[in-house]
A and B are shown apart, each in its own frame.
Chain A
């Protein structure tokens, strides 16, 4: 090996070992600087992605209309096209109303946030949202969506309007839950190695002969200091008894495929008086 290459390799190894020794605080500082730098691009990317999705929806819709035009008159087809545009607006309106309604009926103080980047990483199920330290969001706080629990805030960058949320469908987002109507408690998390499918959650550490049936609701217990109690997580889809403990597959109550708006529980975290969101 050439002396220069050897020297470069030694310097590289020394640098890498030095990086490995960094504390979590130092790493957070670096990540904060990184996200502060790329935040304008993230927002730009989000706008582009949104425009693309809208365009694709439009294309999909046009194809549908073409099929219908084969069986109905041309004029009627045109009217249907206009009607479908109204439908799209109506759907959007309904969605927004549902989100607004969710915010009103939830018992927590929440900060609504829009997802600006989906799955930024290869193996993690996470999203980036357009609310951060400026909006008073803290780390490790629960994130809700229309339907129930969506995940928790992983990182917040103080002087930005950006935060990353680890979704419930990731294996590193563990939640202490209870099967409603039973004393059964366990830990629910996402599954590793499941991609491009409708996500399912894995509920572990249930007792061997747990009286669990498909369709039963799964809610948070409030234990473990991360998630408040009685937030809907999903419903039992299947139950697999094991020799020591049992596992169940849970269908999440939140539609993660079409997730666009989430609600971050504000740092005060105090629940308001009122009904549960489920």
Chain B
């Protein structure tokens, strides 16, 4: 069990590095494959609540370390309406929320229906991006919702979702390697027992 969790943590680290090589696609409204949230979401459905929360903390922490802006600077009398910066740590909460969303369909995943989880990763990424955008809007004021924003979010979710089977495949391989049981546990075996009784 523990070797699998360490392996997942290693995969998260690799995702952070690989994310540096993934550019935004200009032709698709600057959409991008969000590798880190993808690996997190796929991993979240394969582990229990405590490791999921640990992963959420790790990912959110690293994500904010990479993306957060510094303070505005400049004289107060000239820049009277400074744009607010996001607080360090907000991504931790967002990742945990996404993680709980994925945990919600863990029974289906354990029945072997990983494709439902794959679809949900797309939905979760879409929700995550919109939530992040609305948090920024809430902090900075002025609600701006444009067509290009919706398309950027939609394309990012779609592009990311396409790669989820690959991540699940890697996770299944890791699970097999470390003899960690992700599938064929829980509801499915219990139902069989009920039927046989």
Chain A interface residues (CB < 8 Å from chain B): 2, 4-5, 7-9, 11-12, 15-16, 19-20, 22, 24, 27-28, 30-31, 33-35, 38, 41-42, 44-45, 48-49, 52, 117-124, 126, 139-140, 152, 154-155, 166, 171-172, 174, 176, 187, 189, 191-197, 223-226, 257
Cβ of B93 and Cβ of A16 under 8 Å apart? yes
* Contacts A38-B20, A174-B74; A19 near B133 (Cβ below 8 A): no
Cβ of B32 and Cβ of A122 under 8 Å apart? yes
What is the bound-complex CA distance between A38 and B61, given in angstroms? 15
Residue from B61, B69, B88, B129 in contact with A124 in the complex, judged by beta carbons closer than 8 Å: B69
B79 within 8 Å of A by Cβ? yes
Cβ of A123 and Cβ of B133 under 8 Å apart? yes
Nearest 7 A/B pairs, CB to CB: A224-B78, A196-B29, A8-B50, A19-B89, A193-B146, A172-B83, A140-B73
A-B contact pairs, 30 of them (CB 8 A): A4-B50, A5-B48, A12-B54, A16-B96, A20-B87, A30-B88, A41-B21, A49-B23, A120-B20, A121-B66, A123-B132, A124-B69, A152-B73, A155-B69, A166-B69, A171-B140, A172-B69, A172-B72, A174-B72, A176-B78, A176-B79, A189-B83, A193-B144, A196-B27, A196-B28, A196-B151, A196-B152, A223-B75, A225-B73, A226-B74
B30 within 8 Å of A by Cβ? yes
Q: How far is the CB of A171 from chain B (nearest CB, A)?
A: 6
B189 within 8 Å of A by Cβ? no
Cβ of A38 and Cβ of B17 under 8 Å apart? yes
What is the bound-complex CA distance between A41 and B132, given in angstroms? 26
Chain B interface bracket (under 10, 10 to 19, 20 to 34, 35 or more):
35 or more
B12 within 8 Å of A by Cβ? no
B168 within 8 Å of A by Cβ? no
B182 within 8 Å of A by Cβ? no
Cβ of A49 and Cβ of B75 under 8 Å apart? no
Cβ–Cβ < 8 Å partners of A189 in chain B:
83
What is the bound-complex CA distance between A63 and B152, given in angstroms? 28
Of the listed residues A16, A49, A140, A189, the one surrounded by the most CB atoms of chain B closer than 10 A to its CB is: A16
B59 within 8 Å of A by Cβ? no
* Contacts A139-B70, A192-B144; A117 near B20 (Cβ below 8 A): yes
Cβ–Cβ < 8 Å partners of A7 in chain B:
50
Q: A5-B48, A16-B96, A193-B149 are in contact. List 6 more A-B contacts (CB 8 A).
A: A19-B89, A19-B92, A31-B68, A121-B67, A122-B32, A174-B82
Residue from A28, A35, A38 in contact with B70 in the complex, judged by beta carbons closer than 8 Å: A28
What is the bound-complex CA distance between A224 and B85, given in angstroms? 19
Chain B, Cβ-Cβ closest to A21? B89
Q: How far is the CB of A163 from chain B (nearest CB, A)?
A: 11
Residue from A120, A171, A174, A223 in contact with B67 in the complex, judged by beta carbons closer than 8 Å: A120
What is the bound-complex CA distance between A33 and B62, given in angstroms? 11
Cβ of B78 and Cβ of A22 under 8 Å apart? no
Residue from B32, B75, B93, B146 in contact with A225 in the complex, judged by beta carbons closer than 8 Å: B75
Contact with A along B31-50 (1 / 0, CB 8 A): 01010000000000000111
Contact with A along B141-164 (1 / 0, CB 8 A): 010111011011000100000000
* Contacts A4-B50, A122-B132; A174 near B21 (Cβ below 8 A): no
Cβ–Cβ < 8 Å partners of A30 in chain B:
65, 88
B57 within 8 Å of A by Cβ? yes
Cβ–Cβ < 8 Å partners of A52 in chain B:
23
Residue from A122, A152, A193 in contact with B129 in the complex, judged by beta carbons closer than 8 Å: A122
* Contacts A19-B89, A194-B148; A224 near B74 (Cβ below 8 A): yes
Cβ of A195 and Cβ of B30 under 8 Å apart? yes
B114 within 8 Å of A by Cβ? no
Cβ of B17 and Cβ of A223 under 8 Å apart? no
Cβ of A196 and Cβ of B26 under 8 Å apart? yes
Chain A, Cβ-Cβ closest to B88? A27
